[in-house]
Amino acid sequence: MYAILDLETTGGKYNEEGITEVAIYKYDGHEVVDQFISLVNPERPIQAFVVGLTGINNQMLRNAPKFYEVAKRIIEITTDCIIVAHNAQFDYRILQLEFDRLGYDYQRKSLCTVELAQELLPGQNSYSLGKLVRNLGIPITDRHRANGDALATVKLFKLLLAKDTKKTIIQESIKLNPKKQIDTKLRDLITETPSVTGVYYMHNANGSVIYIGKSRNIKKRLNQHFTSDNRKSKQIQEEVEAVSYDETGSELVALLKENEEIKKIRPKHNRALRRVKYKAQLVSFTDEAGYLNLRVEKADSTKPSIITFATIPSGKAYLARMLEEYNLCQSKTGLHQTDGNCFNYTIKTCNGACIGEESPETYNERVETFIKKHTFENKNFIIIDRGPTKEERSAVLIENGIFKGFGYYNLNHQLNNLDILERIITPMEDNRDARHIIQSYLRSRKVIKIMELNELEN
C-alpha cells in the first residue's frame, strides 16, 4: 500500500518551514482507496516567492486547521504505507519536522518518483514533475498546489509500476504487509483479488516472487491454485504469503508481461514456463523449378521463420486454411506429397503450380503476399486493445519489424504523437517467444484496432 503525497510549505530557513497544504492519496497499486486534502495553518508567515508560486497566502490560511488538528488523520491514512512523493526526501523531512514539534516519532518507508523515473525512464530532458508528466502525456492541473501535484504523481507512479518489470517496488511493499494466519491465508488472498484480466504474482514472506501467472479471471485462477492438491500447488500454498497483480485489460499484454517477467525474475515455481513456447515454424525456400515453397517443420532458432506455432499439426492446420484464401498449391506447401499433380488440381480447385502449368513468377507473387502479411519484417504498427480501465487503452508497439514493448494511454488524450508513445512504452525484449505470442494472438483473437505508425504525428 502506498501513500502518495504532496506538500506545500511556507519556505524559509532549513528546518523552520511549515506546511500550508497537504494532499495524500492512499493507493493500492491499482486504484485510490482513500484520500485526504486540506489547507493547513502553519502559524508562521509565508515567503513572498512561495505566494507567487502557489497562490496560497496568509489570509487564505487564517481559518485553516493547524497541523496538530490534522496530524491524527495523516497518521491513519499513511499507516502500513510507503510514502511516495516527487522529491520524497523533502516532503518526508517536512512531515517529520512537523511531527517532531508535536513530540511524535513519525517513521515511514519512502520512495522518490524522481529517483524511480531516472532509473526506469532514462534520458528524459527534465525530471521536474511538470515537465516530466507533460513529456509522458500525463495531464496535470493546479500545478504547485498539493492536490494537483499529488494526482499527477499518482498517475506517474502508476506508469513507473508498469515500467518496473523486475517488480522490485512491489516486492519491497509486500514486506510491510502484516502476515495472515495460516488457516485463513489462502481464502483471504482469493477474496482480496478481483476477477479481472492480468498478471498475478505470488510472494513469500520476504516479498520475493515465487510464481507468476496470467489469466482472464485472476480470482478464478487463484482459486484453482489454492484448491489443487498436486505437488506443485501444495508447495505454493505453503510458501505464499501475499498476492499482487497487474490488471492489463488486454490478454495479449498479459501474455507478453508473463513471458517477459518470468524470464527476468525467474520465480522458483515457474520452471516449465521458462521454456520456449513454440515447437514448430513455417519456413520458405525456392525449389529447382523456381517456385516458392512453404513448409511447416520443427522449430529451429538458427533458421529464419515466417510464423511460429505451438505444434506441427496446428501449423499445418493453419496453412491448410490459407490454401483457398491465397490460392496456394498443396504440393508447394508440403500438405500433399506427390511427384505429380496435387489432389486439389485433380478436382479442379488448384492453379496447377504442382505440375508447372502456372509460371513461378505468377505463383510466387501470391506466396510473397502471404509471407508479407504474416511476417513483422520492416513493419511499423501499434496493436490497440483494452486497457486496465474503461478510460484507457493498451498499445503494443512494433517498429521496423521489432517488438518494442507496451504501454497504456488515456482515451481523453488521443494517441496521436509518436514521441509520447515511445515514452510511455515499457521496453521489452524482442525475442521469438514474444513474436510467437503476438502472431498467435492476432491469428486467433480480435483486437480493437491495428494502427500504422504513419498515422501518428512525429
Is the Cα dihedral 19, 22, 26, 29 positive or negative? negative
User: Residue 387 pLDDT > 80, yes or no?
Assistant: yes
Distance CA 37, CA 378 (A): 51
d(C-alpha 164, C-alpha 209), whole Å: 14
Q: Is pLDDT above 80 for 351?
A: no
CA–CA dist 10, 422 (Å, integer):
38
Predicted pLDDT of residue 156: 92
Model confidence at 340, in pLDDT bands (50, 70, 90)?
Answer: low
pLDDT at 255: 94
- The CB density around residue 131, as the number of other CB atoms within 10 Å, is 12
CB 363 within 8 A of CB 352: no
Binned at pLDDT 50, 70 and 90, residue 337 comes out as confident
Tens-place pLDDT, residues 282-328? 999 999 889 999 999 998 878 888 888 888 999 999 998 888 888 88
- 190 pLDDT above the threshold of 60: yes
Does 211 have pLDDT greater than 60?
yes
Q: What is the mean pLDDT of the chain?
A: 86
The full DSSP string for 131-179 is HHHHHTT----STTSHHHHHHHHHHHHHHHHHH-TT-HHHHHHHTTSPP
Quote the DSSP letter at residue 454.
G
Calculate mean pLDDT across residues 95-119: 90
397 backbone dihedrals φ, ψ, rounded to 5°: -105, 125
CA 197, CA 392: separation in Å to the nearest integer? Answer: 14
Query: Angle at Cα 126 formed by Cα 120 and Cα 129, nearest 5°?
Result: 80
pLDDT band for position 343 (50/70/90)? low
Phi-psi region of 191 (alpha: psi -120 to 50; beta: other; left: phi over 0): alpha
Least confident of 1-10, 63-72, 340-349: 340-349
Mean pLDDT (whole number) for 431-456: 85
Mean pLDDT, residues 189-195: 88
Q: How many residues does the chain have?
A: 458
Residue 214 vs residue 141, higher pLDDT: 214
Look at residue 215 and tell me whether its pLDDT is greater than 80: yes
Contacts of 330 (CB under 8 A, 6+ apart): 323, 336, 342, 343, 344, 350, 354
User: Quick one: how far is CA 168 from the chain centroid?
Assistant: 14
247-263: per-residue pLDDT in tens? Answer: 999 999 999 999 999 98
Residue 400: its pLDDT value, please? 87
Q: How many CB atoms lie within 10 A of CB 305?
A: 21
For the segment 66-84, what is each residue's pLDDT rounded down to a tens digit?
999 999 999 999 998 999 9
Give the per-residue pLDDT at 182: 46
User: In the prediction, which pLDDT does 187 show?
Assistant: 82
Residue type, 382: I
Least confident of 163-172, 218-227, 389-398: 163-172
pLDDT at 2 over 50: yes
Cell 515537465, residue located: 131
Out of 161-175, 206-220, 294-308, the most confident range is 206-220
Q: What are 420-432's pLDDT values in tens digits?
A: 777 888 889 888 8
DSSP string for residues in 50-76: HHHHH---TTTTTTSPBHHHHHHHHHH
Query: Residue range 81-101: average pLDDT?
Result: 91
For residue 17, give the nearest of 67, 76, 70, 72 by alpha carbon.
67
SS3 122: coil
CA distance 420 to 410: 12
Residue 180 has pLDDT above 70, yes or no: no
User: Which pLDDT belongs to residue 414?
Assistant: 64
Which pLDDT score is estimated for 349? 65
